[in-house]
Amino acid sequence: MRVFVERNAWLGMEIALALTLVLGAMGAHSTFGAFPTRQWTDSQGRTIRASFVRIHEADVILNRGGKTVRVGVNSLSDVDQQYARAKDLASDARMWQAGGKEIRARYVGSGGGKVQLNSLGREVEIPFAEMVDADRDFVRMQMEADGQTDELAAVGGPLVKPHESETGQGELEDTNESLADAGATGIEQPGRTWTDRRGRTIEASLVRVEGGQVVLRANGSEKSVPLASLSGPDQVYVASYQARSALASAMAGDRRAGDFGGEIASGGGEVVSRPRTPEGRGGASWDRASVIAENARAREARLQEVRERHEQIARENEQWMQQAMQESVAEPAEPFSTNSDHLASVPSPSVVAPERQYDQVEVHVCTNCNNELPSRVGVGDRCPHCKAYLAYEEDANGNRKGGSTVDGLLSVRPRAVAALVCLIVSVIAGVARALRR
């Protein structure tokens, strides 16, 4: 559930009322995050031209000439499924980190080595080279969905790409030689300074991530800390580690598939055994076409695994952040103790299902600051976070509820109406006194 806001500069009663009517007529419909119209194709070859809105449960919601169209995700072509999942992620605001700073924004586009974001209606441009690895992977996913072949090649290509070996046989190799070593699960990361949301710090190295817990090693002992209790930059660092781990695990099977006399991973995830030819790896009796086809299917399976892992990480981070905000209490800042008992006393987040939260619980969100609204706040009130006026709301299907009742005009505040009535009465009384004189 999204609650839309409208800001007025109350320079005067008459100006405010005029602005309310003009803005209501011109901007009653929010167009932020609109996607371009494109052609969609289902598994039976039928096509439709429409723009993407969102993914709801197992359906893709499209807009065709102002009308809502629902299409099953699995009934679409592979290209359209990839596009829909990528744009569904892009429609949500996420934390970005570049140059030691972080910002919460939505992805808009990329080009010329720059990434365009939108933060609270303000356009922001960040160089791709300054982004952390997790954000770069996210941008590559969006480029691949948008078909930006040239731009994708300029930033290192897709997450995993086919490569011809010296023998001429098709096989898959890492796009980054050090990627598996830097992000493989179970390999301890270099030591760094960690900070929690209360300002406490600790020098430790990242060992692994287990559910909502981050396992750190400090002074030779392991300590478990809730991910939601860490600072924003530290959570981005952990998300990058998780993304690298998923990618490294997916590519590990590629190395095992390199020996064509051994086993080759198929697209379905199982292992297909092939007999070694008498001539060895380069034997003429080997069916090269079938090898290339099997490697192509394996590549698609790995890419899908990486995308699903990114989606899961985004959902978990969002749920942990919301829970941390609800459970946070004001306590004086103190040094981050290295005592394992002290760290163990930090409350752990409860286990949550991986589905999107808005599919389970109705949540009101202010579109001006992207913060969740308390249940007591509704249409006609002000956002407690950014003080913006809440003009109307929409349900999950985009239907407006509450707010204006006349041709989409924004409702006028009751106080403004009362003040205007008092002003009119005062003017009439003044005119009457002048006439009696």
Q: 218 pLDDT exceeds 80?
A: yes
Residue range 182-217, pLDDT digits in tens = 333 445 567 888 888 778 888 899 988 887 788 998
Judge whether 158 and 140 are in contact, CB under 8 Å.
yes
Share of the chain above pLDDT 90, in %: 1
What are residue 382's DSSP bridge partners?
A: 389
For 149-171, b/e burial (b = at least 16 CB within 10 A) is eebbeebeebbbeeeeeeeebbb
Same fold for the domain at 33-91 and the one at 96-158? yes
Q: What is the structure's pLDDT at 49?
A: 92
Judge whether 62 and 40 are in contact, CB under 8 Å.
yes
What sections of 155-221 are H helices per DSSP? 179-183
Residue range 245-303, pLDDT digits in tens = 766 665 554 444 443 333 333 333 333 434 444 444 444 444 555 666 677 677 777 77
Q: Which residue has the tokens 């939505």?
A: 106
Assign 166 to helix, strand or coil.
coil
Distance CA 405, CA 411 (A): 8
Higher pLDDT residue, 342 or 232?
232
Q: 346 pLDDT exceeds 70?
A: no
Residue 254 parent element (H or E): helix 232-256
Nearest to 131 by CA among 142, 147, 120, 121: 142
Query: What CATH number should be reported for the domain whose range is 96-158?
Result: 2.30.30
Distance CA 381, CA 424 (A): 26
Two structure tokens written together for 376: 């007591």
Distance CA 281, CA 258 (A): 10
Per-residue pLDDT, averaged over 331-349, amounts to 46
Q: 119 pLDDT exceeds 80?
A: yes
Q: What is the structure's pLDDT at 25?
A: 36
Q: 362 pLDDT exceeds 60?
A: yes
Assign 422 to helix, strand or coil.
helix
Query: What CATH number should be reported for the domain whose range is 177-274+288-344?
Result: 2.30.30.700
Residue range 145-182, pLDDT digits in tens = 777 777 777 776 655 443 333 333 333 233 333 333 33
Q: 307 pLDDT exceeds 60?
A: yes
Distance CA 261, CA 276 (A): 4
Write down the mean pLDDT value for the chain: 68
Residue range 74-102, pLDDT digits in tens = 889 888 888 888 777 777 788 888 888 88
Q: 15 pLDDT exceeds 60?
A: no
Q: 66 pLDDT exceeds 60?
A: yes
Distance CA 49, CA 435 (A): 68
Residue 191 parent element (H or E): strand 191-195
Every domain of the chain and the residues it spans: 1-30+367-437, 33-91, 96-158, 177-274+288-344
Query: What CATH number should be reported for the domain whose range is 33-91?
Result: 2.30.30.700
Instruction: Kindly indicate the confidence band of residue 50, based on its pLDDT and cuts at 50, 70 and 90.
Output: very high
Highest mean pLDDT among 85-89, 127-131, 399-403: 127-131
Distance CA 369, CA 383 (A): 9
CB burial of residue 94 (10 Å; 0-12, 13-18, 19+): buried
Which of 286-290, 334-338, 372-376 is the least confident region?
334-338
Q: What is the structure's pLDDT at 287?
A: 54
To 10 degrees, what angle do helices 78-90 and 133-146 make? 130
Q: What is the structure's pLDDT at 381?
A: 85
Q: Cα 110 vs. chain centroid, distance in angstroms?
A: 16
Per-residue pLDDT, averaged over 119-125, amounts to 85
Two structure tokens written together for 161: 């790409």
Two structure tokens written together for 395: 């349900």
Higher pLDDT residue, 23 or 249?
249
Distance CA 205, CA 368 (A): 38
Assign 10 to helix, strand or coil.
coil
Q: To 5 degrees, how large is the angle CA 235–CA 372–CA 53?
A: 90
